[in-house]
Structure 1
Amino acid sequence: MKLFLMTAIIATTLAIGGCAQKQESTVPESIMTNDGNVNILWQTPNDYSDIEATIGLQSTFEQYLFTQLTDELGKLANKHLANDQQLDLTVTNVDLAGDVQPTFGATTNDIRVISDLYPPKISFDYALTQNGKIIKSGSEKLNNMGFLFGIQPITNDAFPYERDLLLDWFKKTIMPVL
């Protein structure tokens, strides 16, 4: 009888273990976005410091974040880049301004609390090319520790602090060589 129970327990454990196999992730390791002469490769977003969604699906939030930042940089860059110039970025890390805090049942969603303890940060490699020849390239680790100082306009803009990091970098680093 003990042998039968022992065999049944082992068989059940093996059967349950076989049913609980890990599924392969279907999320792409990198995401490419572009706007005119600007291409951005968002490399392994699962490894980024903080791009946590507070509402909806994480994959939808990531696509929205990446598209918004690419569009904002593209608006400025496409005004200044010639038709034969190309700006390519490979983003290796993003840490959105603020920190996601749970609401402990007060609402169904968490909230992102913006505080100077959690400044926006973006790390990337870049290359500015003209007719396939590199004009300027390098690596950047952008952050803005004083992002909350000064007058803060009230807007509905998505990701204003991260957008400002990219636009300020473009104005200071890329525009002088154009």
Structure 2
Amino acid sequence: MKPRLAVLLVAFAFASAAHGGARNVTDPQAPRALPESDSVNVRWEDPSRFSELRYSGNRWEASRGNWVQELATYLRDRAQQRLPDGQRLDVDIVDIRRAGSFEPWHGPNLQYTRIIRDVYPPRMTLDVRLTDADGTVIAEGERKLSDPGFLMSDSATLNSDPLRFEKRLIDRWLAQELRTAERGVKNEE
């Protein structure tokens, strides 16, 4: 490699890091919660303890990016759209296992490729607390989400979002959770 090219590559790498290049979800400086909101608050544990990283075939590649915050933001935004006025939802993300997995035994050409198979469904564990305008608890507890049929959806092949399976898991859970909570409030009236 030519010395000038090497110097440029090193300078580019430092510039990318200085300007917030690719982030790592286990970065100690990364946030562990979204900014507080009146209706929906989302926090998460240290991602290095998530199943996604602990059981990954390529821990380095699995930790790349900002996918925890992206999923938390998606959860908050979708919940805010569905949540009735006056209700509040607090969610702690306890664990995430993304759809697919790294299979390093396929060799160096595929060690950075997430292999999507039905044996690697998306999973999430959440601690949830849903309250009404008076602060009365409507629903709370641990929720274990999983979608073993995640590859059966028509939209799965048409969408290029790398978090599409996890987002669909969140959408299904919110539809069920808020529908159940709404029925519980109506039954009390």
Superposition TM-score, scaled by structure 2 size:
0.66
- Stretches of structure 1 that go unaligned for 5 or more consecutive residues are 1-24
How big is the shift at 1:145?
1.0
- Residue of structure 2 in register with 1:31 after alignment: 32
- Residue of structure 1 in register with 2:147 after alignment: 144
Match of 2:158 among 154, 157, 160: 154
2:111 aligned with 1:112, yes or no? no
2:129 aligned with 1:122, yes or no? no
Contact 2:83 2:178 in 1 (8 A): no
- Residue of structure 2 in register with 1:175 after alignment: 179
Q: C-alpha separation between the residues in 2 aligned to 1:154 and 1:53?
A: 28
Q: What one-letter code is carried by the residue in structure 2 that aligns with 1:168?
A: R
How big is the shift at 1:159?
0.8
Q: C-alpha separation between the residues in 1 aligned to 2:153 and 2:74?
A: 22
2:71 aligned with 1:69, yes or no? yes
Q: C-alpha separation between the residues in 2 aligned to 1:168 and 1:83?
A: 21
Q: What one-letter code is carried by the residue in structure 2 that aligns with 1:33?
A: L
Superposition TM-score, scaled by structure 1 size:
0.69
Q: Provide the identity percentage.
A: 24
Q: C-alpha separation between the residues in 2 aligned to 1:35 and 1:119?
A: 31
Q: C-alpha separation between the residues in 1 aligned to 2:171 and 2:113?
A: 26
2:58 aligned with 1:54, yes or no? no
Contact 2:41 2:89 in 1 (8 A): yes
